[in-house]
Amino acid sequence: MTSEELLAQEERLQFDTFDNDTAIELGLHLLQAARDQGLPIAISVRRGGHRLFHASLPGTAPNNDRWLERKTRVVELFGHSSFQVGTSFREKGTTFEAESRLDPDLYAAHGGVFPVIVRGTGPVGTVGVSGLPQAEDHAFVVSGLQSFLNARGAQ
C-alpha cells in the first residue's frame, strides 16, 4: 500500500464519539475476531494515553507488548498509523530508523497501530495489535475497525 492509500484509510475509519466504553467494546470486538481466526496477537486500545483494553492470546509473548508500546509511541507522535509513518519514509527512499532520529528501542514505525480519530476532533487514542507480520497486523486492525464502525452505523 502507498502512503496515500493508508491516509485514505484514516480518513474513512473515524468515530463520531469515543469514550471508555467504546474502547472496551472495540477491544472485545478485535479479541473475538482474533479468536475466530486463531491469531496469536496482543491487542491494545488507548484513549488519551490511558490503556483501556489489553489482551494477549495464546502464542504471544511479553515482546508483543513491547512492540505495541513502540508502535503506539509512533502513532501518538505523528498522528498517523504506524504503517503509514514507516511507508512514508520508505517512499522517500529512506527509513524511519535512519531519518527520524528517534530511539529504536522506544519507537517502531511498523504496521499494527492505528489512530483512533473522532470526526471534527482528530486523534484521541490508538488501537493496535502485535504478533503477525506488519502488513497483516495493520490489515487486521483496519478490518476490525471497519466491521466495528459498520456495526455501530458510524459509516
List, for residues 30-61, the tens digit of each pLDDT value: 999 999 999 999 999 999 999 999 999 999 99
Instruction: Report the domain count for the chain.
Output: 1
CATH code, 106: 3.30.450.150
Predicted structure pTM score? 0.95
Confidence of residue 154 (pLDDT cuts 50, 70, 90): low
35-43: long-range pairs with CB below 8 Å, 24+: 39/131, 39/132, 39/140, 40/131, 40/132, 41/129, 41/130, 41/131, 41/132, 41/137, 41/140, 42/68, 42/129, 42/130, 42/131, 43/128, 43/129
List, for residues 102-146, the tens digit of each pLDDT value: 999 999 999 999 999 999 999 999 999 999 999 999 999 999 999
Domain range enclosing 46: 3-152
Confidence of residue 155 (pLDDT cuts 50, 70, 90): very low
Q: What percent of the chain has pLDDT over 90?
A: 96
